[in-house]
Amino acid sequence: MKIVVHDTASAMIDLLQRPLEQRPDALREMLSPLQSVMSEVMGDVDLVRTHQQLGSGFRLDREDERYLPAVRRMRDAGVWSRTEECLAAAWERIGGAVPGIRHAETVHVVVVLGNPDDDHLTGRSAGYFGMGGIPGAIHLTMWPTETSLEKAGYAAAHELHHNVRYSNVVWNPMTVTVGEWVVSEGLAEAFVRELAGEQAMGPWSKALTGAELDRVHARITADIDVAGMHNATAYVLGDATAQIMGQQPLGLPDFAGYAAGLRIVDAHLAATGLTAAESTALPVREILMNAGVPTSA
């Protein structure tokens, strides 16, 4: 596997010094490595439009004196070099654990400055999150905080686990189950823990404990076969994010599925003696069975 972490620091510094009307095209050029990969799966997707609609990335329609210092702070903190190091270590571990596992020949990685006024990014997500489920593409969104500067590289490793899993396991947005989605998040977080220790894990999988985790786990495992991303978002990301996406809340807290997914994965690992790296491409039904979670899928 060839992993290319693009120098989006230099690209964003250049972009943010251009007139506003030139910035969408500059962003389109910066995202072009992902555009070509993702279009093969998603069709005619416009990543600049997606950037604007989601609201978690930096604003293209206004000047903001916070942006340039933020990019420079990320660059000076070594975000890009540490992301590259974490990804190399992550791939070495997965490839060594499962020789011959299918994977994208090249994985393009872009780090994009986030919007400091987006509560999902800076509040719920502690300043960083990623998307890596399409083989060959990893997109990280980040606003520099103490947590994000420390852990962004590990978020990339989390996303690489998804990237390799979905080179081997089918992800269909219309049919994917709650079980597959929460297990994938639990596996990716368990993998980060294997790679760099519990302190490297994101805030998502550790947000719930005690009776609240028990309640969430019971609700999610009861509905483990619910299918379709349009039905599953609240189970995984919680009510607040589901409502942002126009979906029905279910009485579940932020990142409910990450904590429940990690509990399921930990039960699977304990039952089998496997590692998260060795489990990268296992079918969800096998993982759920090992964890003692009944499913009809």
Name the residue ranges covered by the structural domains of the chain. Answer: 2-165, 178-291
Match 């975000």 to its residue by tokens.
79
CA neighbor of 68 nearest in space, from 56, 58, 78, 83: 58
C-alpha closest to that of 261 among 200, 195, 208, 196: 208
**Rounded distance, CA 289 to CA 295, Å?**
8
Phi, psi (deg, nearest 5) at residue 3 = -110, 120
Per-residue pLDDT of the chain (297 residues; tens, 9 = 90+): 999 999 999 999 999 999 999 999 999 999 999 988 988 777 778 899 999 888 899 999 999 999 999 999 999 999 999 999 999 999 999 999 999 999 999 999 999 999 999 998 998 899 999 999 999 999 999 999 999 999 999 999 999 999 999 999 999 999 999 999 999 999 999 999 999 999 999 988 888 999 999 999 999 999 999 999 999 999 999 999 888 888 889 999 999 999 999 999 999 999 999 999 999 999 999 999 999 999 886
The burial class, CB within 10 Å (0-12 / 13-18 / 19+), for 110 is buried
CA dihedral of 203, 205, 207, 209, whole degrees rounded to 10: -150
* Cα gap 102→11, rounded to integer Å: 32
Q: Which among 261, 242, 264 is positioned nearest to 253, based on CA atoms?
A: 242
Which amino acid belongs to residue 151?
K
Which tokens sit at 110? 């872009």
Tokens of 164: 């390799």
CA distance 49 to 167: 26
For tokens 């072009």, the residue is 32
289: three-class secondary structure by DSSP: helix
Dump pLDDT digits (tens) for 198-214: 999 998 888 899 999 99
Residue count of the chain: 297
Structure token pair of residue 163: 């990237």
- In whole angstroms, give the CA distance from residue 133 to residue 136: 9
